[in-house]
Chain A
Amino acid sequence: MSNPTATGRVLHATLDLLDRQLRDRNGKLCGNVDDLEITRDEETGQMFITAILCGPGVLAYRMGRRRLGRWLEEANRRVHDTPTHHEPFERTRIPIELAGQIGPTIELAVDVDDMATHDTERWTLTHIISHIPGNASRAHQ
């Protein structure tokens, strides 16, 4: 076992990462860390945390509703067919290197609109909130 204090910072995944509040590049709240992706290198046997996963299906999956979770994720993937990205891009997966500060909140170098956690926000906005007068202005002084 390597000496944990020798290099790099030490984190505990469930303690320091899971369920933390996420913020996008503009400081907007954009979901919690619902799960983490772990990738294992076959040759060296080393494992890495490679991505933050977040979105409705992801949370269901984590809470033991495996099939429901995967179905939700798949549905989300089909509905949002990565229009703005050339490479295949999963809206529930934020590569870990895009996580800037890790503290009481985790700041991501991502835009909310690229995240699955924001889809229902957009839906309620276009279908409900934007039909109610006064939705765009701040409250009166």
Chain B
Amino acid sequence: MKKVLGVALGVLTAIGGFVDMGDLVANAETGARFDMNLAWVVIVGVVGIIVYAEMAGRVAALCGRPVFDLVRERLGPRFGLANLLASFFINMLTLTAEIAGVALSLSLVSSVNYLFLIPFVALLVWLVCWRMKFETMERVFGLLGLCLLVFAVTVWKIGPDWNHLFSDATHPHVPHSETVFTYAYFGIALFGAAMTPYEVFFFSSGAVEDGWTRKDLGENKINVLIGFPLGAALSLAIMACTHLLLAPRNISVDQLSQVALPVASVVGRLGLAIVIIGIFAATFGAALETSLSAGYIVAQYLGWPWGKRGAPRTASRFHVVILMAIIGATLFGLTGVDPVKVTEYSIVLSAAALPLTYFPILVIANDPRYVGPEHTNGRFLNALASVYLVILLLVAIATIPLMIITKGGS
């Protein structure tokens, strides 16, 4: 019974933890601009993260090696360093976006300018990284993130023509008001939001922190196979909300507050309260994950002690990196950069950096010296993962040119 509860809790955590500032922004924007024409990308993205996160979790459980450790081992120190610098930079953008997201959600209940709230939020994030138990942290924010289910309620209350909605999503086309380039650009943004590399950094490091072993392989599979698709369903609900309510009014989403507007208008005050709690939890949880990821990747590349399982003094450099990352993101956020723009860039650049991180995972998951001969990838998984590797490469090649052609999607 206790075991079942644990697994259920893990799945719920995975659902709530799936959505972050990137998913909120990307799904809401595309729903308002492209209707459901990009919904398929969310599906493609979630299958990708399922495939690769499962591998990363399995490798972590079987040989105790988290992702960035493997990155250096397989790619060598030079490529590894390039990957580290790129990932760290993107991670900083993401952290900035998440901290700003938390501050924005708090400003919607306090009417204090979000810039004033940023330092306060950063302090909270750091305190949790410093003091809160890993498991508690994961659970609290993952479960609170479930408040975002109110988006699904909103869609249901709007009562759309489901057949119509479904056929819209399954018969995608480029809308008249958009070009192929902007369509592709936002497709990449959605893909990057679903497959953000920090998710696997955090997921695999978390598996090591939780002390996963061979026995936890089942839980790994369930978390990934049930939690992530439900998380993706949540993303689609956000997209459907803005598609149904904002697109007909010619509203384009460029503020986080607009993401909550459909919920307020359909479900009412309580709905608004729930969705803001959800946004707070999702962005706060992601701020924690990205802060920790900054520490994880640097420490793992250099072989330092890492992790928040022990006291901070047993992993002092790791905690210093986290502290620096939070301070850096805070200062960047305080310059008044547009949080929504930062989010967009972070997810699009994530998409460009994906192959560097996912390729080593795929090789190691096939290496019997790490996972043992009986736990290497099966044929089907390998076929799927190979297809994704090609997609990741294509996306990576296309990203920067598209960014320049579309002037950042405008």
Contact = CB atoms under 8 A, between A and B. Distances in A.
Given A19-B73, A105-B64, A140-B133, A135 B313 contact: yes
Contacts of A105: 64-65
Interface in B58-72: 63-65, 69, 72
Interface SS of chain B: helix
Interface residues of B, number: 35
Contacts of A3: none
A130 B78 CA distance: 33
B131 A140 contact: yes
B132 interface: yes
A10 interface: no
Nearest to B137: A139
Interface residues of A, number: 35
Interface of A: 19-22, 28-32, 34, 54, 59, 62-63, 103-105, 117, 120-122, 124-125, 128-130, 132, 134-141
Contacts, number: 90
B51 to A, nearest CB: 22
B370 interface: yes
B305 A129 contact: no
A127 B320 CA distance: 11
Given A19-B72, A21-B69, A121-B316, A63 B77 contact: yes
Contact of A63 (B65, B81, B312): B81
Contacts of B89: none
Contacts of A34: 77
B317 to A, nearest CB: 5
A129 B320 contact: yes
Contacts of A20: 73
Contact of A139 (B64, B134, B320, B369): B134
A59 B78 CA distance: 10
B258 to A, nearest CB: 37
B304 A121 contact: yes
